[in-house]
Structure 1
Amino acid sequence: MALMHPQFDPVALSLGPVAIHWYGLMYLAAFAQFLLLGRLRVKQAHWQSLGMNYQALEDLLFKGVLGVIVGGRLGYVLFYMPGHYLSHPLDILKVWEGGMSFHGGFLGVLVALWWVGKKNGQGFFKMTDLIAPLVPFGLALGRLGNFINGELWGRPTDLSWGMIFPQAGDLLIRHPSQLYQMAGEGICLGLFLWWYAAKPRATGAVSAVFLMGYGFFRFISEFAREPDDFLGLLSLGLSMGQWLSLPMIVLGLILYLSRHKTLDKA
């Protein structure tokens, strides 16, 4: 007997004509955990000595949210469906129809962090090191939202925990790949980074571990995730998500090795 996706109602709460969706609540929860864990992070002696405070963290969150939204949308447009949006440019604004890219949102956040780091004089890698341990837990909440919506389902499997996703339009038993990603690039990576970043590290080291860790977990989980039907698998049988994750692993490794001799220095 195969498991059946619970078919949650994507609307968590309706207030008259206003519908509050679970996925939107996951975003709000992600921002809330960023501030809660970030408060603990900026209280660490290392960050106190650099003059970081809760107000600076709030400023980071605000600009980071803009980076996620703008970068995530433009990333989806450029990486996944450039032909369609070139022919229908006004569709770029239809964010309510879905279509966000993690890798695009990631680039948008990097631009926001560069802006904040330049403004406050801390520098780019100080900013990325500060928030790196906070990001994976937010990603985990996003993947939970994907699972609630029954979207981004996995490839067919005969494993006992496989699940039927009616939204896929068939009765195939599939990997619950959203939960794999929630566990890997979310919870596991978040816990490891929180432990690793508890001790002062050379500037850029925590960011390097995040890049390698996310790239690795995303690359592995994509083997269980159904590729986008309008793209399919690309060169070497890899998905777009895997091709976009490989540069993260390589850049993270280069950054880590470049800081290796000073990793134990504050």
Structure 2
Amino acid sequence: MELAFIPSPSRGVLYLGPIPLRGYAFCIIIGVFVAVWLGNKRWIARGGRAGTVADIAVWAVPFGLVGGRLYHVITDYELYFSEGRDWVDAFKIWEGGLGIWGAIALGAVGAWIGCRRRGIPLPAYADAIAPGIAFAQAIGRWGNWFNQELYGKPTDLPWALEITSSSDGRVPGTYHPTFLYESLWCIGVAFLVIWADRRFRLGHGRAFALYVAAYCTGRAWIEYMRVDDAHHILGVRLNVWTALFVFLLAVTYLIVSSKKRPGREDVVEPAAAVSGDDADGGEKPENADKDDEVADDSEADAGAGSGKKT
């Protein structure tokens, strides 16, 4: 008999009159705000303008949501397109189902568009936003708690997660709270990136690459604990292979980038640097040039009056 466990919410949606308030959506929204807030602070600290991170996020977030949903639907297509399923459910993003791999990939495309429009290097932006993304993932994982999904194997540990209902027909009981494991791991990843960035002055996309590599490390072992249906390759869950592949890409980028482009960018936002130069130089008063001319004439007259004739 379990002495303690983490209870699951009886339902994942509340109604404010006819308006549904879904816990999963709230977690995603809060995570986005945290990522933008922290990214903005880090961007300003690197010499960028306030508000730039939010402006680019207007492109990155929608692309990321679409990418995350596409990855989920493609890798779990039988949930939407097999016999007896309704393909319209593929658009019901509020019911859960976002793949982080697709979200980061297509979100990067959106960020690239936003950065290009402002003349900003994407790697510098990625470095600023990296720990914020990890915090956003940590918050977003609690959406799985509201939906009672993506849990691990049965367990009677004190921190076991109580499942009272399940869309996949699993027997109610207590299971490993893999959503919590990943949430805590992402918090650790965020602090790791912040520390490493301060200690080693990571630049040119290396802070983001460190975030990716660290996240993949945790995702691989947490994925092994999950018991939800998934595609397998050589007996291993698809997301484990994906984590391994992306991890290798991130580590390779870290090594190659550190050799080719050591250090950190001197300027991350050219427009901000130009504005800073103007502010430092100051503006002359409208009559400054006239005053200079008068001063020059006075000095010339004084010199002529005191000079010796030959």
After TM superposition, the score normalised by the length of structure 1 is 0.85
Question: Residue type of the partner of 2:63?
Answer: G
1:204 and 2:200 equivalent?
no
Structure 1 residue 70 corresponds to structure 2 residue 66: yes
Q: Distance in 2 between matches of 1:82 and 1:110?
A: 27
CA 1:111–1:215 in 2, change beyond 3 Å: closer, same or farther?
same
Amino acid in the other structure paired with 1:25: F
Partner of 1:190: 190
Structure 2 distance, partners of 1:195, 1:134, is 13
Aligned to 1:173: 174
Instruction: Decide whether the 8 Å contact of 1:34 with 1:135 is kept in 2.
Output: yes
Partner of 2:20, secondary structure, is: strand
Counterpart-to-counterpart distance in 2, 1:179 and 1:190:
15
For 2:81 and 2:190, how far apart are their aligned partners in 1?
35
Superposed displacement of residue 237, structure 1: 3.0
Question: Secondary structure of the equivalent of 2:224?
Answer: coil
Deviation at 1:137?
0.5
Aligned with 1:151 (options 149, 152, 155): 149
- 1:54 is the counterpart of 2:55: no
Distance 1:19 1:75 in 2: 26
Q: Distance in 2 between matches of 1:212 and 1:98?
A: 25
Aligned residue pairs: how many?
A: 257
Farther-moved stretch of structure 1 (214-223 vs 8-17): 8-17
Which secondary structure does the structure 2 equivalent of 1:43 belong to? helix
| CA–CA distance in structure 2, aligned partners of residues 58 and 117 of structure 1 | 11
8 Å contact from structure 2 (residues 223, 239) kept in 1 = yes
Deviations for 1:97-152, whole angstroms, at most 9, x for unmatched residues?
43321111111111112212222222232222221121010001111221233211
2:135 & 2:238 partners in 1: Cα distance? 23
- Structure 2 Cα separation of the partners of residues 23 and 9 of structure 1: 14
**1:254-265 maps to which residues of 2 (within 5 A)?**
254-261=252-259, 262-265=261-264
Query: Which structure has the larger Rg?
Result: 2
Other structure's SS at 1:259 match: helix
2:128 is the counterpart of 1:130: yes
Give CA deviations for 1:133-181 in whole Å, capped at 9, x if unaligned: 2101000111122123321111223544333312243144321111000
Q: Which amino acid in the other structure matches residue 215 of structure 2? A: Y
Contact 1:117–1:126 under 8 Å retained in 2: no
Do the aligned residues in 2 keep the contact of 1:77 with 1:85 (CA within 8 Å)? no
Q: Distance in 2 between matches of 1:177 and 1:125?
A: 31
* Cα 1:149–1:97 shift into 2, 3 Å: closer
Letter in 2 for 1:81: Y
How far apart, in 2, do the equivalents of 1:146 and 1:99 lie? 9
Any residues of structure 2 matched to 1:1-266 within 5 Å, and which? 1-2=1-2, 3-11=4-12, 13-44=14-45, 47-48=46-47, 52-81=48-77, 84-85=80-81, 90-157=88-155, 159-168=157-166, 169-184=170-185, 186-198=186-198, 200-226=201-227, 228-229=228-229, 231=230, 234-261=232-259, 262-266=261-265
Deviation string 1:43-68 (CA, Å, 9 cap, x unpaired) is 21xx21xxx22221111221121012
1:196 corresponds to which letter in structure 2? A
| Structure 2: runs of 5+ lacking an equivalent | 266-310
1:100 and 1:58 map into 2 onto residues whose CA distance is 22
Moved more, 2-11 or 205-214: 2-11
